[in-house]
A and B are shown apart, each in its own frame.
Chain A
Amino acid sequence: MTTQDRQTLNIQLAQMLKGGVIMDVTNVEQAKIAEDAGAVAVMALERVPSDIRKQGGVARMSDPSMIAAIKAAVSIPVMAKARIGHIVEAQILEALKIDYIDESEVLTPADEECHIDKTQFSIPFVCGARNLGEALRRIAEGAAMIRTKGEAGTGNVVEAVRHIRTVNRETRQLQSMPMEEVMSFCKTNGLPYELALKVRALGRLPVVNFAAGGIATPADAALQMLLGCDGVFVGSGIFKSAEPARRAKAIVQSVTHWNEPAKLLEISMGLGEAMPGLEISDIPENERMAARGW
């Protein structure tokens, strides 16, 4: 199979995840709760972002035995995180035959200059982005799916909103500007030119884009759908809440019914305490995960 055919198949798997919720899980029990709630995939990792934030230190790829146990326990796709630029962690995850690798800023970057050349892999990658340039650079490197980053582990949706709004605004700018301005816009904003032309023609990213980072309630998830995301990642938001199973099910429903306020009202009732939230301004600049990635 050619590299392009493989990338098409990988983009198409993400297409099948549209309208769904991908949940962070740290053990088999949580993975089963996520699957029972209707998650379309699980992200297997040792610590959810809010714990990584609290405990500090270097966050690395999870122990593959833990990922393998989760893979054996559920029938839905399993994703796992490799550090930005950590080619070998990605090779190990590919050898484990999971379904998707997240080259993630939630882990401590292994390379402060280069991301992984994802075209060298058969396995699909999802990567984070804060703006159109970052999204298209990752796609140019071979990412088959994008997630607008948000600020993971905060329970605060403000950064996720900022990032999808930025992608949307830059997409509209790209579409409305005269052709002679496109190259200059690409230069200023770090957009690969050929992909920028594609976005200009399509009016959106050429791959599936999920929201991530700070989503804690069904309303947060529906807001991301309203802003044009194809689906939602929920990290700490579920298993750091008072009643994970109920909240997980409610968030799944909110992504399907995002444009039905009466239904969202019903879904949002009596879910117990959400995860505790953090003000972004209280997080020191050097501890903000979204800023990682280049």
Chain B
Amino acid sequence: MIGVLDLQGGVVEHLGHLHALGVPARRVRHPQELDGLAGLILPGGESTCLGKLLHQTGLDTAIPAAHARGLRLWGTCAGAILLAKAVEGEKPHLALLDITVHRNAYGSQLDSFTATAEVPPEISPAPVPLVFIRAPVITRTGPGVRVLLAVGDRIAAAADDTGGMLATVFHPELSPSLAFHGWFARLCGLTVPSPEALRGDDAAWSRESWTKLAARPGR
């Protein structure tokens, strides 16, 4: 099973992609909810907010402890900032992945953009769509960290293969592509369709897909 950190941000978008892959998933808001997970996704949101809530819930120590026992981690956008060992001009949060990130490197929302890029074939043989929203940039990768993807001259995704960690500064959960979720699930030892089978976009995905699992009219 894969968990999605459920403190703030793009939680349901990740749950939707995992569901589309047939991967069992659950929300994680408390340390005990990490038990039995093969992997944990740290979603996009606001890293300052997420960092504080991680501390208040005790997940700031529980996640590194679970990671040391084999829990694989993937951070998207703000989640990548949470994983980074160094954040330019700020204190790091979980400080697990040996990268340096520069927050909001592209500017304000007016500088948010989409792109399409080639990725390593084990992720997808076809180019994948990328969504950058107030995105950070990875400005340094340490020894043992592999650059998976650069957009222009800026590093957008990196992985520590032996450590079982992945950071993407864009949002695969906001695009129709299931490629990155499939790859992470395979890293976690779960059975999912091959990259070739996942070729192209999820036909069921739409701009409103996130609403399926989002807040419903209450009461």
B residues apposed to A, CB below 8 Å: 6-13, 29, 44-46, 48-49, 52-53, 56, 77-78, 90, 103-104, 107-110, 112-114, 131, 133-134, 171, 174, 207-208, 210-212, 214-219
A156 at the binding interface (Cβ < 8 Å): no
Q: Given known contacts A100-B109, A252-B53, is B218 in contact with A227 (CB within 8 Å)?
A: yes
A64 at the binding interface (Cβ < 8 Å): no
- CB of B25 to closest CB in A, whole Å: 17
Contacts of B52 in A (CB 8 A): 37-38, 249, 252
Q: Which residue of chain A has its CB nearest to the CB of B109? A: A99
The reply to whether A16 and B44 form a contact with Cβ atoms under 8 Å apart is yes
Contacts of A189 in B (CB 8 A): none
- CB of A120 to closest CB in B, whole Å: 14
The reply to whether A40 and B107 form a contact with Cβ atoms under 8 Å apart is no
The reply to whether A226 and B8 form a contact with Cβ atoms under 8 Å apart is no
Q: Give which listed residue, B56, B108, B218, contacts A226 with CB less than 8 A.
A: B218
The reply to whether B219 and A77 form a contact with Cβ atoms under 8 Å apart is no
Q: Given known contacts A16-B45, A256-B53, is B214 in contact with A5 (CB within 8 Å)?
A: no
Interface string of A269-294 (1 = CB under 8 A from B): 00000000000000000000000000
The reply to whether A124 and B109 form a contact with Cβ atoms under 8 Å apart is yes
The reply to whether B13 and A123 form a contact with Cβ atoms under 8 Å apart is no
The reply to whether B11 and A252 form a contact with Cβ atoms under 8 Å apart is no
Per the 8 Å Cβ criterion, residues 202-240 of A in contact with B are 202-206, 209, 225-230
**How far, in whole Å, are A96 and B30 apart by their CA atoms in the complex?**
40
Contacts of A124 in B (CB 8 A): 109
The reply to whether B214 and A20 form a contact with Cβ atoms under 8 Å apart is no
Q: Give me 7 A-to-B residue pairs in the complex whose CB atoms sit less than 8 angstroms apart, sorted by A's number.
A: A11-B207, A16-B45, A40-B49, A76-B49, A98-B108, A202-B211, A256-B8
The reply to whether A77 and B109 form a contact with Cβ atoms under 8 Å apart is yes
The reply to whether B214 and A204 form a contact with Cβ atoms under 8 Å apart is yes
Contacts of A97 in B (CB 8 A): 107-108, 110
**How far, in whole Å, are A89 and B104 apart by their CA atoms in the complex?**
25
Contacts of A253 in B (CB 8 A): 53, 56
Q: Which residue of chain A has its CB nearest to the CB of B103? A: A75
Contacts of A205 in B (CB 8 A): 211
Q: Give which listed residue, B49, B171, B217, contacts A167 with CB less than 8 A.
A: B217
The reply to whether B219 and A40 form a contact with Cβ atoms under 8 Å apart is no
The reply to whether B215 and A230 form a contact with Cβ atoms under 8 Å apart is yes
Q: Which residue of chain A has its CB nearest to the CB of B50? A: A38
**How far, in whole Å, are A228 and B219 apart by their CA atoms in the complex?**
8
A198 at the binding interface (Cβ < 8 Å): yes
**How far, in whole Å, are A19 and B104 apart by their CA atoms in the complex?**
20
A35 at the binding interface (Cβ < 8 Å): yes
Contacts of A225 in B (CB 8 A): 215
Per the 8 Å Cβ criterion, residues 1-49 of A in contact with B are 1, 5, 8-13, 15-20, 35, 37-41
The reply to whether A19 and B11 form a contact with Cβ atoms under 8 Å apart is yes
Q: Which residue of chain A has its CB nearest to the CB of B76? A: A16
The reply to whether A204 and B216 form a contact with Cβ atoms under 8 Å apart is yes
- CB of A212 to closest CB in B, whole Å: 15
**How far, in whole Å, are A81 and B217 apart by their CA atoms in the complex?**
27
Q: Which residue of chain B has its CB nearest to the CB of A79? A: B109
**How far, in whole Å, are A124 and B112 apart by their CA atoms in the complex?**
11
The reply to whether A204 and B215 form a contact with Cβ atoms under 8 Å apart is yes
- CB of B6 to closest CB in A, whole Å: 8
- CB of B42 to closest CB in A, whole Å: 13
